[in-house]
Structure 1
Amino acid sequence: MGIATGRIASVLRGGCMLAAMALLAACTRHGQEGYARYRTNCGICHHGGEGLKGEIPPITGRVDRIATSPEGRQYLMHVLLNGLNGPLKIDGVPYNFFMPSFRAHLSDEEIASILSYLATRGDTHPAPVFTAAEVARERTHPLSSSMVADERRRLDAIHPLP
């Protein structure tokens, strides 16, 4: 009975440690600021990150995976800076929607904090972190929202995006 109790205590300690690590990641400066910016700018459409099947794509568990490649990081910044328009398939589900550009409404730091926060909502550890300097570089190359949709389709053809 003592061995079983010790194993249970060990499992509980491990679970608590993982929960604490996740909580600390979410409580970073990017987590707090990113969540606040997400909630006021993105949350109204994307809800808790789950989206609305067939209408608004989910973003939870996807941003971190897309951000693992330089092209994916660039695409994500393009989405927030320039918006996204057009029919897309995400995880086999068709979406035909319009996402507005946040170029004129959010600073480089704010966009970086939103993307960094969203990256913590996936399974990639450590979660990718975006910087204001990265966003500032992409801001110098404006695209139309349709061009961003074309960018996604090109990336998806090379390496399927979540």
Structure 2
Amino acid sequence: MKRIALPLCLALTSCGKKPAGQAVYGPNCGICHHGGSGMPGETPPLVGRLDVIAQTPEGRHYLATVLLNGLRGRFDTQGYRYDYSMPAYRDRLNDQQIADVLNWLIVRGQSKPTPALTAAEVASVRAQPGDPATSYQERQILNQKHPLP
């Protein structure tokens, strides 16, 4: 019988291992954002939005800012209003974990080519102080330059 070598990612999937970003997402983000679809009017969806936001360097900076510092404020997306408060993960997740989570969500969107964040980009954002209110201010500025989905 001839043996066929499987690519590592296929082999890992068949062994039941989750991608790194999905494994971190579940216990940290999935509690509120569910599988990435959110809860209309309560928790904003991520899949189908983050890939669009990540198309620009400012968008990737913003996404890292939100995970590191949290987010608090009112905004509209996909026909729903959110008066939202998200916790900071600065002290819970390292730079690679944050990049993995964001990239796992980004790749599930429709954008081609698929944008990606690096751990170095996250580290650069981490070097700056921040809090949920400053994340919201960054969102407002970004939304004026590149309307957010």
CA shift, 1:126, in A, is: 2.9
More helix by share: 1
Match of 1:68 in 2: 55
Please give the residue correspondences for 1:88-99 in structure 2 after superposition, counting only pairs within 5 Å.
88-99=75-86
After TM superposition, the runs of 4+ consecutive aligned structure 1 residues lying more than 6 A away are none
CA shift, 1:150, in A, is: 1.4
**Please, what TM-score do these two structures have when normalized by structure 2?**
0.85
Question: Would you say 1:106 and 2:93 are equivalent positions?
Answer: yes
Q: Give the alignment's Cα RMSD to 1 decimal.
A: 1.6
Query: Considering only CA atoms, is the larger Rg found in Structure 1 or Structure 2?
Result: 1
The number of residues matched between the two structures is 135
Secondary structure at 1:50 match in 2: coil
CA shift, 1:46, in A, is: 0.1
Look up the equivalent residue of 1:145 and give its one-letter code: P
Match of 2:146 in 1: 159
Question: For residues 128-154 of structure 1, what are the alpha-carbon distances to aligned partners after superposition, in whole Å with 9 as ceiling and x for unaligned?
Answer: 221111111110002110111111111
- Is the 8 Å Cα contact of residues 88 and 149 (structure 1) preserved in structure 2? no
Question: For residues 91-149 of structure 1, what are the alpha-carbon distances to aligned partners after superposition, in whole Å with 9 as ceiling and x for unaligned?
Answer: 34210021000000000010010011111110112322211111111100021101111
Secondary structure at 2:35 match in 1: coil
- Is the 8 Å Cα contact of residues 62 and 122 (structure 1) preserved in structure 2? yes
Match of 1:141 in 2: 128
Look up the equivalent residue of 1:142 and give its one-letter code: P
Matches of 1:55 and 1:142, distance apart in 2: 28
CA shift, 1:48, in A, is: 1.1
**Structure 1: 5+ residue runs without aligned partners?**
1-22
